[in-house]
A = this chain, B = another copy of it.
Amino acid sequence: MASSKKKLQGLVAATITPMTEHGEINFSVIGQYVDYLVEEQGVKNVFVNGTTGEGLSLSVSERRRVAEEWVTKGRNKLDQVVIHVGALSLKESQELAQHAAEIGADGIAVIAPFFLKPWNKDVLINFLKEVAAAAPALPFYYYHIPAVTGIKIRAEEVLDGIQEKIPTFQGLKFSDTDLLDFGQCVDQNRQRQFAFLFGVDEQLLSALVMGATGAVGSTYNYLGKKTNQMLEAFEKKDFSSALNHQFCIQRFINFVVKLGFGVSQTKAIMTLVSGIPMGPPRLPLQKASREFTDNAEAKLKSLDFLSFNDLKEGNLEACS
């Protein structure tokens, strides 16, 4: 399959699921959303129905329709559309994997089940294997996020010999700050063409130096352009510029983290920056407060993240 030949690299936006004020999915803006990512942010890969997309807050039928919409609207515009098909139920995860294959997605990603938990790496791999088998032609990505799953199994151990068990394995979304584990994933699999995608946006630079081949995150929806500047500087070995860009991004994330930063806030920020209405989240989340939105907007302006004119007079915080 063609898609399995091209390697997923660079920035991957963890997509937001736009909703109406009543918490129903607002499919109508996804086409516009695709264009915005490509044209304004320079981001051509998406990770659909993940944490940022409230994937596990959607019903299985909703997840199918969201996936379809992204594949359809992304055709000839996006490089890759990866669908997160992880679920607590193996059967539902398999159904979603099969569906992703049917609609022509470019890959599937799976989080470790986190209610009843696998005891060891072998059981975890068996679970992942059963999901992968439902889409035997699709590239498979393991979504490692131990702080959320509460599972202590190291990614490096999951990757050990994984191709013998999961032939479609193509890479890892690593959402943790343990760069020993991440580094050893890279080091021990150098011969293989895996994608090592880092998932902690605020410290991406620290993973690039450790061998990351790309990144999946929510901030690439609205800071993709800025982050691409960092990637370019890093490629050119211009580390001081790369660090300036990273710090600039950190200033924003550090600011919102202190206010309380999650999916609700990401929806509010994306609405501000892109002008595309992302709407409120669905329960169990609640809409970001007005206070948050006002503070975030002021910060975005002070950092020139709304205009992206990187040098504005009298704007001391703006990043050179």
Contacts and interface: CB of A to CB of B under 8 A. Distances in A.
A295 interface: no
A119 B207 contact: no
Contacts of A89: 56-59
A246 B112 CA distance: 29
Contacts of A187: 247, 250-251
Q: Which 4 A-B residue pairs are closest in the complex by CB-CB distance?
A: A206-B206, A177-B177, A179-B203, A180-B202
A114 B88 CA distance: 12
B243 A211 contact: yes
A259 interface: no
A281 to B, nearest CB: 8
27 contacts: A56-B89, A57-B113, A57-B115, A57-B116, A58-B89, A59-B95, A60-B60, A60-B92, A62-B91, A112-B284, A118-B285, A123-B286, A124-B284, A130-B283, A177-B178, A180-B253, A180-B254, A183-B202, A187-B251, A203-B210, A206-B206, A206-B209, A208-B209, A209-B242, A210-B243, A210-B246, A237-B237
Contacts of A60: 59-60, 92
Contact of A183 (B156, B250, B262): B250
Contacts of A251: 184, 187
B127 A284 contact: yes
Most buried by B among A51, A95, A247: A247
Interface in A244-279: 246-247, 250-251, 253-254, 257, 260, 262-263
